Structure 1
């Protein structure tokens, strides 16, 4: 399990900064005079930039007596954990096939012609909302994203092999999705971790079959280029722990990792935006260029060292980030932004998050690095508080919530900071509440939804443009409440309108869905790690790469 000890950030001696600046400046000057056509020189320059940044960090750490490649200290969040939760979850990003219809919607990216079919989630109903443009649309059909690559050399054989694997999986999922209490259903006798039927899933049969197909054929390759701490490393505790946990799990190896790149269906770019911000960003400055440049250099390095990026124009490549700047870090490489699978905590459609190809990553604040003591809560009858929120004044949605409900109603407890006079901890307040309010902060990502699920408190999502995690599988309306920002003033009326029996059902479903958000070491089937991998699998299942002929 990810068990790195936290260390405080080193202070760089002035001469280290000057030397490192010179190391970074030389290759930039060389490339600004005209990027060399020689691929070997391109690789050398890209790796030199990356190595220069890494050496700066390692030498500074060494001079200060710290070993940053063994961990680092995150900025401590406030007592209530900075929040930016989820808005209306949409099942727009499911990638299952419930019929054979493929209604094509064509659009062109910077480097590839992509044919995107409206995705069809694991839903009983084919209609679903697409919020990729910030507005709801009703779409029908199945989701296969097609990328026409620019280089067809030696790709035909690989294309046929990969497509045969995916076609077989699609067929099995399509068959399972149409099963209704028949012989095609998988039982608990066949699978000890059986996913039961129930309203928390859009289509439990299709999800279970998809999961089994993932376990059977899905493989990911992790690029070896780059050195810690920026690459192959990440935070194991703090508000960004989901990022580090996934990176470390992929580094350790698991069922889905392969050392044979020709066997892989997806290629993982193992950089950490959190670490880049930690070491490459100057606090108080607005210049994010070093972060974007590092990502661009890394893509340049792997694309000139391996054939896989160019073969698909990055469409079967994966990056993962839980930092607010994760989406921004991809804008320096158009194919990464437009084509690649981006797994992001900041899953905001207004900032370019595309649920057809991107994955919403749950944000979990692990202060101690463990979830011990965070799971579980009392029964509904022992929860005396109707609704609870405590957190800093971050963003306009929280401002509205605090303006309308702070110190206004004994049933709706809203604080900018939990008063010490209450005599209760933040965690105990979650467990004592029936509903846990999850308003967005500056960004949409927040650990509050997972905190609520851990405490078995029904989450209330208040956000704009947020895509909730695993929405292609999970029916969030069955176990959470979604409130428009304009309806914040009616919050009590909305919550009081939920009957006692309905609440009991919702709270029971929160307990059922909990397994999908739990971090285990080592990972267990259907837990958080496997749900993230499954979301990636769905996007790859939805992708068809063609060589241009």
Structure 2
């Protein structure tokens, strides 16, 4: 025999109330999700507007100078003019030239006569006087052959002291490039010789002594040697 449970009035009220609460909660959740998306889009739009407005307010275009485009023929002519040794193509500044001559007129440089192991012994390699870093050789020769009164044989009247050390003439047998691994010891030896033999290095701590650094390391040798 099956029993039929007839829902009472109270049970029906509870069921209706539960459904209403469930429906109301779902509507409230959907409303919250909608509000969240709305505020998210408002925040994104506000940030975008802020960054764009800041960019346009602070942006200042950099003026680009007008450049002239030359044809290949003009470029060749220009290069030919720049390489020409004819003085008629060079701007003349007589006053400036006279001023430079005046500055160099009383300049005196004393050239140290170091043992040949520091310079001329390296000339056994023909490349030493003509390779990429050969200015250290050329400057030394120019001072030795100077006939304009710049070189002085009296160190006490010298403004500068030239220390002729060739560090770029030791070529690598592997690739033929200058190998300057020996440069640190060679320069240190030259400084020790000059400072212990002459009083001029210690007088200025080497401030008026000139070395040619024509290689890639340049003045970086100073931190390794001095």
Provide the TM-score with structure 2 as the length reference: 0.48
Structure with greater Cα Rg: 2
**Higher-RCO chain (CA-CA 8 Å, sequence separation at least 6):** 1
Q: Which structure shows the higher helix fraction?
A: 2
Q: Which structure shows the higher strand fraction?
A: 1
Provide the TM-score with structure 1 as the length reference: 0.21
